[in-house]
């Protein structure tokens, strides 16, 4: 038979540690959203380039259409 006094109970993290973790998650999420907005902006600018500008970059209109069709969080 197990002695109930020897069984460890799980420790709870302090409210301060939990709040810190929540803030870290929030900051990380905000950074991700900011990056997605930047990617979206860059893809919009890419879509506006003329064919001769794309040729200078070594890209085809089909490659640009494929890139611009992606969601912002897709690499």
pLDDT score recorded for residue 12? 72
* pLDDT score of 75 more than 70: yes
pLDDT at 41: 96
CA distance 6 to 20: 31
Q: Return the DSSP state at 11.
A: P
Q: Would you say 53 and 20 are in contact if contact means Cβ atoms under 8 Å apart?
A: no
pLDDT at 16: 81
Residue 1 has pLDDT above 60, yes or no: no
What pLDDT digit, counting tens, does each position of 5-54 carry? 667 766 777 778 888 899 999 999 999 999 999 999 999 999 999 999 99
Give the residue with greater pLDDT, 25 vs 2: 25
């Amino acid at each position: 038979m197990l002695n109930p006094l020897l069984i460890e109970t799980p420790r709870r993290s302090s409210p301060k540690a939990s709040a810190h973790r929540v803030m870290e998650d929030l900051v990380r999420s905000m950074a991700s959203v900011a990056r997605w907005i930047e990617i979206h902006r860059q893809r919009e600018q890419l879509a506006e380039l003329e064919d001769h500008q794309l040729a200078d970059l070594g890209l085809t209109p089909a490659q640009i259409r494929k890139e611009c069709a992606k969601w912002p969080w897709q690499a």
